[in-house]
């Protein structure tokens, strides 16, 4: 990513708590619902898995669907619309991943692009978000770069709009008198990591007071 270049950003004022977006960002369970037509067809929720808990971060692997994975490994061609980041091997091109550096450093990355979400709380039920896209510098040199970029920005906006809808509905749900906590799926393990981190922070702040 040291080679990366920020090529696009968009600013969003959101009507939900920052942790609602963060938790949505970090789990893959909702791919099969909210992103049924955008992400689920190539990043199926079922195959996702999470690295063990670390006090500093949480990372989830989002493997491509099996047929795509096999094709990439057999052909040695990453099959990405844009050039991949330098230093990646073909085996690294068979998955995307999401990364959270506690508390609010968010990356959604593919071999050929990284979405960096800059998330700031602005109130108990509002937050400010800047979505950005980072590409390898070599991407700007390829033929039809402008057309491909336009298409990839649009697909980033498309799945983001699906998340905005879900997050707004989640905030509404949190305010409902019918709200009750439920169990997490194993596909939501990063949420458990984040809550563990928050519990540690609260514990630390209580021992200081």
Q: Which residues bind Fe ion (CB under 5 A)?
A: 163
Reported for 35-43, long-range contacts at CB under 8 A and 24+ positions apart, including other chains, are: 35/159, 35/162, 38/155, 38/158, 38/159, 38/162, 39/159, 41/65, 42/68, 43/96
SS3 of residue 125 by DSSP: coil
Nearest distance from residue 24's CB to Fe ion, in Å? 6
The least CB distance from residue 169 to Fe ion, in Å, is 13
Q: How far is the CB of 55 from Fe ion (least distance, A)?
A: 25
Among residues 102, 130, 104, which one has the least CA distance to residue 18? 104
- Contact in structure between 106 and 116 (CB atoms under 8 Å): yes
- Of 139 and 159, the one with the shorter C-beta distance to Fe ion is 159
Q: Shortest gap between Cβ of 170 and Fe ion (angstroms)?
A: 11
Question: Please, is 138 exposed, middle or buried when counting C-beta atoms within 10 Å of its C-beta (0-12, 13-18, 19+)?
Answer: middle
Q: 72 vs 164, which CB is nearer to Fe ion? A: 164
Nearer to Fe ion, 144 or 185 (CB): 185
The label of the residue with tokens 């959270």 reads 100
Residue nearest to Fe ion (CB): 163
Nearer to Fe ion, 17 or 139 (CB): 17
Nearer to Fe ion, 159 or 197 (CB): 159
Q: In angstroms, give the least distance from the CB of 47 to Fe ion.
A: 16
């Amino acid at each position: 990513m040291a080679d990366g270049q920020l090529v696009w950003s968009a600013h969003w004022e959101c009507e939900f708590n920052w942790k609602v977006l963060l938790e949505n960002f970090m789990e893959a369970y909702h791919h099969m619902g909210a992103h049924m037509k955008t992400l689920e067809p190539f990043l199926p929720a079922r195959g996702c898995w999470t690295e063990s808990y670390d006090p500093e971060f949480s990372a989830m692997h989002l493997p491509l669907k099996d047929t795509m994975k096999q094709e990439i490994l057999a052909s040695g061609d990453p099959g990405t619309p844009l050039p991949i980041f330098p230093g990646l091997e073909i085996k690294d091109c068979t998955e995307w991943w999401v990364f959270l550096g506690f508390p609010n450093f968010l990356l959604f990355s593919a071999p050929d692009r990284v979405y960096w979400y800059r998330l700031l709380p602005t109130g108990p039920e509002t937050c400010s978000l800047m979505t950005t896209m980072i590409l390898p510098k070599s991407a700007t040199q390829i033929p039809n770069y402008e057309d491909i970029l336009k298409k990839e920005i649009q697909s980033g906006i498309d799945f983001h709009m699906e998340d905005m809808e879900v997050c707004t509905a989640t905030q509404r749900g949190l305010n409902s008198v019918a709200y009750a906590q439920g169990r997490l799926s194993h596909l939501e393990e990063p949420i458990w990591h984040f809550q563990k981190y928050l519990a540690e922070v609260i514990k630390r702040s209580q021992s200081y007071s």
